[in-house]
Every structure is written in C-alpha cells, then in structure tokens.
Amino acid sequence: MLRSEAGRNPHDRALNELVGELTTRSGLFAALWAGHDVRIHTTGTKRFRHPIAGDLSLQYETLDLPGDEGQTLFAFTAEPGSASENALAFLASWAASPPETHPPAVPPANPMSRTRAPPLSREHTTRQRRRHQMTENKENMTEKKVWFITGAGRGMGTDIAKAALAAGHAVVATGRNPEKVTLAVGGNKDLLTVKLDVTDPADAAAAVQAAVDRFGRIDVLVNNAGNFYAGFFEEITPEDFRRQIETTMFGPMNVTRAALPIMRAQRSGLVVTISSTAGIAGGEFLTAYAASKFGVEGWAESLAPEIAPYGIRSMIVEPGFFRTELLTPESTSYAESTIDDYAERTEQTVAAWQGMDGLQGGDPAKLADALIRLAESDEPPLRFAAGADAVGTFETRARALQDQANAHRELSSSLAHAGA
C-alpha cells in the first residue's frame, strides 16, 4: 500500500519523509523499496492525435520500472474493433522491433531519494523545451488539419491557402519566394511560409521537415505549383520542353515523395494534384504542357492503389479555364516563332490567349472552397472536373474513347493467339 501511494503521489512531502526515515533505519526496507520501485505517473482516459498512430481514444496507465534497467511500461486499452485498437496494434509492432533501433532507456529520477540529481545541462534543457513545444503544437492540431500547398505565392495556390485558413486549418504555404507568399496569403498564427522550388528534391525534403517541426504532421498535400510553356512542338526548344516536365510532372513527384513517409506513419492523408483538362484531352499549342499533365495524371492514378492500404487518398483536380495568373507573362512562356508554316496560327493563338487573360469564367476562390469540402469528405473522388467546361471536356473525351473503341472493334478483338 505504501508503494502504491508513493507512486501515485511522488511529491507528497510527509510521505517522502516517512519513506526516507524508514530507508535510513532499515537496510532491509531500503533493499525492498529499491527492488520493487514502481511509480504510476498517470492514469485516465484521453482522446488525442498521436504523431505516428493518428487519432486515438484510450484508457491508459504509465509505469516506470527503475528496478528493471529503467524501462517504462505503457498500458493502453481501447474499444475492440475500433480504429484506436488498430492503432495500438501498430504501436505494438513498433515496440516489438529490435531494441537497438530504439533510443536508449534513461532511468527516471527516484523522487524518494535524498540524493539531489545533478543540474540539467543547457543543451538538455533546450532540447526538453523544444520537445515540449512540439508536443503542444501536435496536441493543438487535434481539431484541425495541416495543409501543405505548393505554389502558394499567387493564383490558385493563394486562394487555396486562404480558404484552408478560413476553414480553421493550419497551412504550410510554399513558394520560391517565402516573403511573396506571406504577402499574398496574409499573416495568420496558423500559417507557416517555407521556401520551396518543387524541381529540387532537397528543397522538398527540407520544406516537409519544416512543416513537421512546426505542426507535427501533414494531412493534405496540394501539388499546385506550375508554369506553362506554349507553342508548336517543333518550335519549343528541348530545354523548355524539359523545364515544363520538370515543374509540372516531376515537381509533384518530388514533393509527394518527401511527404508520403509522414502520411504512411500517420496512416492517413490526402494527396491533391492540380492537373488540367489538358491532362484529359490534348490540343495544338499544348504539346509540352499536355505531356506533363497526361504524365502526372497517369502517375497520380497509379499511385492511388499503392497508398490506399495506409489510409492515404489521391485526388486529381482538372480545372478548366479559371481566372488565375496562368496566362500572364510571369507564368506563360511562348515559343519563339521560327517556322513559316506555323507563323500565322502562332500569331492567332497567342493573341487569343492574351486576350482571354483576366476574362476566364472560372472563379478560383470557389474552386478553393470546393477543394476544402472535398478534402473533408469521407471518400474524396479520384478525379474532380473543376468547372462546367471541365465537365464538358470529360464528357466529350468519354464519347470519343467509346467511339474509338467501336470504330474497329472486330479488328481489335481478332488479335489473340489461335485457341487462346
């Protein structure tokens, strides 16, 4: 009984004095006390978001066992069949991993001891303070999601960041120029702006780490950063074609590759990839852009079943024409007209697109609100046609594919081995 009471009330002065006196007067008592030191630090029921296992609702009890090489016992119970029980199974598998992969155990201080512990070093104190701050940040994120958005310095990325903040979420807004991102999105206690060039894998890894250091997790990744190299294929230089692919295809891959380990550990997450109707149906003057978008569509669709077993979803967004900055000189680069055969059509297409800038029908703020709504749904769609024109593109493409399948159905179906 004395041991149990001392464990539950380690700072009870009278109890400490009694134990100290008994330890001084009786060597047998001192030996028994030291050999059976079990201190129950905390008991109760708590709902919280574990940085590795995700949302948990547990009855818990923690026990320190200094008499057994300083090990700590964590006793948890959860409702059978619940998500929390599944999370506990995951933690149990971690606990069963080889001890050499774990941090070394440190015997906790014995509050009954009359020996004063040495003062903590400044480095240790700083480390403890940082760990406490990270824990506090993670607990504060229980009722909100953490959105990580690329290309947030202008256009659609800015609108998505603002919408997520307005919905009560935390946002990691990234861009090549963090100061510009802050000016575009505006100040907010739940906003972190980070430098990120999506074509640089090291930048992606550093930005993801900054997000985890600040908020403890990433719930929604929005691959939005992009640019537009327009022109006829023969006139787009190989260098510009590669730049297009690097930004709008490999860019999302770089950032997603950095974020997926975090989401897998959480066993939850949503990867949103902003594609285009140019990823559904190609067209002239779009060879480089459509190639990157068709590529990112195939990647994101194939990624979906790979990550689904870990609670991670993939959603591809195909916007039509929205009133963003995509057609401005800052985002669009037109190939130099060098071939006479294309000269007239180049002049007409460039003039038409420049005249369309600022007059597109789609409202990016409404699209941003729609993405918040879809991200909060239980089953986000694999594809989302953004805008009435995008819906039309989907329907036209579906009819075209059906017509193409029917056009040579007999020939297509006659290509098997004999007897197969």
Residues with catalytic function: 275, 289, 293
In this structure, what are the phi and psi dihedrals at residue 25, rounded to the nearest 5 degrees? Answer: -80, -25
Q: For the beta carbon of residue 346, count every other beta carbon within 10 angstroms.
A: 21
How many contiguous H segments (helices) and E segments (strands) does the chain have?
15, 12
The conformational region for residue 231 under phi > 0 = left, psi -120 to 50 = alpha, else beta, is left
Residue type, 55: D
Instruction: Please state, in angstroms and rounded to a whole number, the distance separating the CA atoms of residues 86 and 281.
Output: 43
Residues 6+ apart with CB under 8 A from 228: 244, 289, 326, 327, 331, 332, 333
CA distance 182 to 175: 10
Q: Packing angle between helix 238-245 and helix 287-307, nearest 10 degrees?
A: 30
Closest CA to 317 of 235, 241, 363, 374: 374
Give the position of tokens 């990234």.
Answer: 174
What phi and psi values does residue 209 have, to the nearest 5 degrees?
-65, -40
Q: Which of 140, 136, 132 is nearest to 170 (CA)?
A: 140
396 in Cβ contact with 281 (< 8 Å): yes
| CA dist., res. 219 & res. 204, Å (int) | 16
DSSP 100-135: GGSPPP-PPP-TT--SPPPPPPHHHHHHHHHHHHHH
Q: Which two three-digit tokens encode residue 404?
A: 């193409």
Q: For 368, what's the count of Cα atoms within 13 Å in the CB-facing half-sphere?
A: 22
Is 229:236 a contact under the CB 8 Å cutoff? Answer: yes
